[in-house]
Structure 1
Amino acid sequence: MLLLPKLRIHNANALSSAYTIGFPAMTAWLGLAHALQRGLAEKFPCKFAGVGVVSHDFNLQTYKGVRDFDSSIIGMASPLKRDGKRASFIEEPRCHLTVSLMIEYEALSFEEAPEYEIVELISKLLNSRLKFAGGDLMSHGKPERMIISDENKFKILKRKLMPGFLLRERRDLMIKSMEKEEGDALDSLLSYLSVHSSCDVVDEKVSWQRIRREKGWIVPIAVGFQGITPLGAAENQRDADTPHRFAESIITLGEFVVPYRLESVDEMLWRYHVNADKSQYVCSQQVI
């Protein structure tokens, strides 16, 4: 396991999909791991098989006034035009966050390499022009290799991730809801995110309670892409030699949990799953 602790990221992309805002998509974190793998490949050939993400701090760049019902996006100022007016721009939700990444690797040569060489090269790659979910890296802790061979080693890893919240997949909630209620995926998603209020009156005293369908910190999370057109060519595409297709985001439920609640490393890691028959490219903790 390769641990990248306390990555402090500025202005990461908070628009995970066309209709969700919040924690960056899992495709961004697995894409970052793939970029690191390519950077290491010239000197230390390796394969990064899975990625776990722990959030230590998250600050969504929005503002809500005293009497406002909705929050507003804090936009970045654009340079003035010649006439002194503001140029038109598209609002881009941003967030500042601190995360730790756990990367499962498969490489004998990588394991036998000296610790200081690995740390030096990874630190150099982290401080290069890499983008972290669209944001910039401000600082980071010292990278570390760990071999999770027994329960004691796993406990050490969990202690290094505290305090923080690990993001795990809860696609199982949506599947159960759709099978039981025979609804569509969007209705199932919203049923776990909506908050209901209940009022109790006892001895002329009124008390309100907020009720959610499932306990825990349940959030929507973008985990991949669904192809909506067949493979083909598009006008002005970046790579003329690669087939092109339009796609839309795949959204599911995720849950932030404290690491000490986990019992195995597999509960932490997200992996790529490609289903060519269904035109799906998904990051998941479960076999699809």
Structure 2
Amino acid sequence: MRQPKLPTLDALLHIPQLSVQNANAISGPHSWGHPGPTHFTGLMTALERKLGSDSGLHFAAVGIVSHGYQAQTNGDYVQRFNLTRNPVGKDGSTAAIVEEGRIHLQLSLLFGLKLDQQRAAASDEELNALAQQIGSTLATLRIAGGSVLPGRSALKPRLTRLAEGEDERARQFRLLRRYLMPGYALVARDDLLHAHHATLRAQAPDATLLDAWLDQSRINHFPVTDDNGDTAWQHSRQQGRGWIVPLPVGYGALSPLYEAGTVAGARDDSTPLRFVESLYTLGEWLSPHRLHDYRQLLWYPTHDADSGVYRCRNDYQAANQTEHHTLGVEA
């Protein structure tokens, strides 16, 4: 399969300082925390549909920058979700507790857009008014299941038409990057997963990608003895190795694509259906000042019909890397 590429973009839309209450903190069957990129590509699709075809916009990619978060958990070493019993039953009795993880977020989004002819010829004033309209529409939607609260930031949505030359586009991103700080941008680090897999295989030739991913998803403690015979305990998350996280990035097919209406109990009998499992890789939270190109920040959805892989991709890694591999974990 050829490596998919980010579609050609005409403009960037910056939505600053969104406050999201009670977003979904369980982003996959093997991880919890900040919502993964699939939540935001889903938001991107919902926003485009909400605006309608008359908007003249196609949302192709989205960048995620976190300014702060507050997981709704309690406990010291072992964290437990704050759970509620709601709603009450028909007889007024309390319902059983259904575990759901919630998190409050403060984030900024950067959408990559393709413009139709009319929007491409629009004036800066028209694009600015359109950006405010999109920001108001976004406030009516859910982000990863969470509610968007009225923002306190003085910053307003900005729609920037990308210049023709690469140097001028780089200058535009440098200016835009200032409004993304302080914060952390989410990028893909498939390269770290495969580098660690190679390290494990040097010690154990039968080590798999799953072993490498699990090893990078936890903190391993081990004893180290010096020349004097003194032993000290160290852990695998050393300083300077970055803020690495396990990251669900999409789904892989477990079944053929069934015709609409042929699977009993399906939620929608007008849409084809297939069963899938979660796909995982490694991600990293980086300060935006470490990014030098807007393409390093953006996530975009891809689909390969032959392999049945539905995956969000990010081009942070080197442009000459032609193959990205993803770990499949059963849901």
TM-score normalised according to structure 2 size: 0.78
**SS of the residue 2:16 aligns to:** strand
Aligned residue among 88, 93, 104 for 2:101: 93
Alignment deviations for residues 219-262 of structure 1 (CA, whole Å, 9 cap, x no partner):
01111111111222321213223221111211111000001111
Equivalent-residue separation in structure 1 for 2:269 and 2:70 (angstroms): 39
Which is worse superposed, 222-231 or 95-104? 222-231
Task: State the match for 1:153 in structure 2.
Answer: 172
Which one-letter code corresponds to 1:100 in the other structure? S
**SS of the residue 2:172 aligns to:** helix
Aligned residue among 239, 244, 254 for 2:268: 239
Question: Is 1:284 equivalent to 2:313 in the alignment?
Answer: yes
Which is worse superposed, 159-168 or 34-43? 34-43
Which is worse superposed, 224-233 or 196-205? 196-205
Question: Is 1:270 equivalent to 2:299 in the alignment?
Answer: yes
Task: State the match for 1:139 in structure 2.
Answer: 150
Q: How do 1:82-231 residues align onto structure 2 when only pairs under 5 Å count?
A: 86-107=94-115, 108-111=117-120, 112=122, 114-128=126-140, 130-140=141-151, 141-149=155-163, 150=168, 151-179=170-198, 181=201, 183-197=207-221, 198=223, 209-212=234-237, 215-231=241-257
Which one-letter code corresponds to 1:217 in the other structure? W
Which one-letter code corresponds to 2:133 in the other structure? L
Alignment deviations for residues 37-59 of structure 1 (CA, whole Å, 9 cap, x no partner):
12223332221111110000111
**Residue 83 of structure 1: CA displacement?**
7.7
Equivalent-residue separation in structure 2 for 1:183 and 1:50 (angstroms): 35
Alignment deviations for residues 179-206 of structure 1 (CA, whole Å, 9 cap, x no partner):
5525222211122233234567799998
Question: Where in structure 2 are there 5+ consecutive unaligned residues?
Answer: 1-11, 316-322, 325-331
1:9/1:136 contact within 8 Å kept? yes
Which is worse superposed, 48-57 or 243-252? 243-252
Question: Is 1:63 equivalent to 2:71 in the alignment?
Answer: no
**Residue 9 of structure 1: CA displacement?**
0.3
Equivalent-residue separation in structure 1 for 2:147 and 2:292 (angstroms): 33
TM-score normalised according to structure 1 size: 0.88
Which is worse superposed, 189-198 or 270-279? 189-198
Question: Is 1:23 equivalent to 2:34 in the alignment?
Answer: yes
Task: State the match for 1:36 in structure 2.
Answer: 47
2:249/2:279 contact within 8 Å kept? yes
Which is worse superposed, 75-84 or 53-62? 75-84
Equivalent-residue separation in structure 2 for 1:147 and 1:117 (angstroms): 14
Number of aligned residues: 284
Computed over aligned residues only, the root mean square deviation of the Cα atoms, in angstroms, reads 2.6
Which one-letter code corresponds to 1:246 in the other structure? F
Q: Judging changes above 3 Å, is the alpha-carbon distance between structure 1 residues 82 and 247 closer, same or farther for their aligned structure 2 residues?
A: closer
Alignment deviations for residues 124-166 of structure 1 (CA, whole Å, 9 cap, x no partner):
31232x1101110002452111235423322111111000000
